């Protein structure tokens, strides 16, 4: 049996990097695996990123992330889709895994070192982030985890945590594998950053639910091939973020025309950007229309999340019973 687990943080508005890198894949895997596809909005992870976490907006952003995933096509009747903090077993398992995880392994995590280097005071939660991530996965005994390249090291740690627990307390958890099917879809930021990221701010992202006029206002001044100083200079669409966006949004004929036009200086950068907009409109308009419908019926989104949490707890509770028993905790009402 294959069981898929993946989580997405609610620390910003959903953008096209989320869409192409994760959300479309969620829908595809959900259609393939049904209730064995488990997706979680990992709101407990949000406070580990002080720069992006805002308690005043966390609930709204969590709702928006749920709404966006449903608008893309994720069906809460088909998959298990819920909010992490509404299934308390995540935090319990995280603590029990924490006491068995060496400090040195956590300090070696690349993401921890990168983020810690930017902070004056390092919260312990940032160090423990990958243990909570391991608990998210192992709580459902998931064996397949779709992730980006930057999360592969965390999956390797999860495998080591599972291996260590199994050795100490008996076979309990499978060792999950990372699935990098969407690794090629590394969407660059519209401001020229190598990767579109909520942490870079709205100037870097194209929102999945952003009005088309606002998207054009970001695309129009976006950097292109720096070698194209003049309109008559040929360019290279393979090193241009607008060329990358065409590969995501444009049909084959448009892609062929802009690629040839760029290399021969037959088309200018602003015209290339204009040719991009119909593809963006074609892809995002149906999603935005479904999102508008769901926004008119917020109870539908909340009910889907509540149903998902109920189904998640039905899996998580017996796993936690098993973990407590293996670790030797006294069961309520039972004699030692």
Is residue 113 among the annotated active site residues?
Answer: no
Residue 288 to residue 23: CA distance in whole angstroms: 14
Q: Three-class SS of residue 105?
A: helix
Q: Which residue has the tokens 């021969």?
A: 264
Q: What is the pLDDT averaged over residues 102-114?
A: 93
Task: Select from 38, 55, 134, 142 the least CA-distant residue to 95.
Answer: 134
Average pLDDT in the chain: 93
Q: How would you classify the pairing of strands 80-83 and 144-146?
A: unpaired
Assess whether pLDDT exceeds 60 at residue 185: no
Is residue 195 among the annotated active site residues?
Answer: yes
CA angle 201, 205, 207 (to 5 degrees): 115
Assess whether pLDDT exceeds 70 at residue 276: yes
Q: Which residue has the tokens 């290399």?
A: 263
This model's pTM is above 0.85? yes
Q: Among the options 141, 195, 200, 247, which is catalytic?
A: 195
pLDDT in tens, 211-250: 999 999 999 999 998 888 898 999 999 999 999 999 999 9
Instruction: Specify the pLDDT at position 224.
Output: 92
Tell me if 131 sits within 8 A of 90, measured CB to CB: no
pLDDT in tens, 31-85: 999 999 999 999 999 998 877 789 999 999 999 999 999 999 999 999 999 999 9
DSSP 189: P
Residue 316 to residue 223: CA distance in whole angstroms: 47
pLDDT in tens, 129-182: 999 999 999 999 999 999 888 889 999 999 999 999 999 999 999 999 998 755
Is residue 141 among the annotated active site residues?
Answer: no
Task: Using CB atoms within 10 Å of the CB of residue 70, give its burial: 0 to 12 exposed, 13 to 18 middle, 19+ buried.
Answer: buried
Q: Three-class SS of residue 262?
A: helix
Q: Which domains are seen in the chain, by residue range?
A: 4-187+298-327 (3.40.50.620), 210-291 (1.10.240.10)
Q: Among the options 113, 118, 198, 274, which is catalytic?
A: 198
């Amino acid at each position: 049996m294959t069981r898929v687990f993946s989580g997405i943080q609610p620390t910003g508005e959903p953008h096209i990097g989320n869409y192409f890198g994760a959300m479309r894949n969620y829908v595809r895997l959900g259609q393939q695996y049904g209730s064995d596809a488990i997706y979680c909005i990992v709101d407990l992870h949000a406070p580990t990123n002080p720069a992006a976490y805002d308690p005043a907006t966390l609930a709204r952003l969590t709702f928006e992330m749920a709404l966006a995933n449903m608008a893309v096509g994720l069906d809460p009747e088909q998959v298990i889709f819920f909010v992490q903090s509404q299934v308390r077993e995540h935090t319990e398992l995280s603590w029990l895994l924490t006491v068995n995880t060496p400090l040195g392994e956590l300090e070696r995590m690349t993401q921890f070192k990168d983020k810690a280097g930017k902070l004056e005071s390092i919260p312990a939660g940032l160090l423990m982030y990958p243990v909570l991530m391991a608990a998210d996965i192992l709580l459902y005994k998931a064996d397949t985890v779709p992730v980006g390249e930057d999360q592969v090291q965390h999956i390797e740690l999860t495998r080591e945590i599972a291996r260590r627990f199994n050795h100490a307390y008996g076979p309990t958890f499978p060792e999950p594998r990372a699935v990098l099917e969407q690794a090629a879809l590394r969407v660059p930021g519209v401001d020229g950053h190598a990767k579109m990221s909520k942490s870079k701010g709205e100037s870097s992202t194209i929102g999945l639910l952003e009005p088309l006029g606002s998207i054009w206002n970001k695309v129009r001044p976006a950097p292109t091939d720096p070698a194209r100083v003049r309109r008559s200079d040929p360019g290279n669409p393979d090193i241009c973020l607008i060329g990358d966006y065409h590969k995501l949004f444009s049909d084959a004929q448009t892609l062929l025309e802009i690629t040839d036009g760029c290399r021969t200086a037959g088309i200018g950068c602003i015209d290339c950007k204009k040719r991009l907009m119909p593809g963006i409109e074609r892809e995002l308009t149906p999603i935005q229309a479904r999102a508008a419908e769901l926004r008119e019926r917020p109870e539908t989104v909340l009910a889907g999340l509540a149903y998902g949490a109920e189904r998640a707890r039905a899996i998580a509770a017996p796993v936690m019973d098993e973990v407590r028993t293996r670790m030797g905790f006294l069961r309520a009402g039972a004699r030692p």
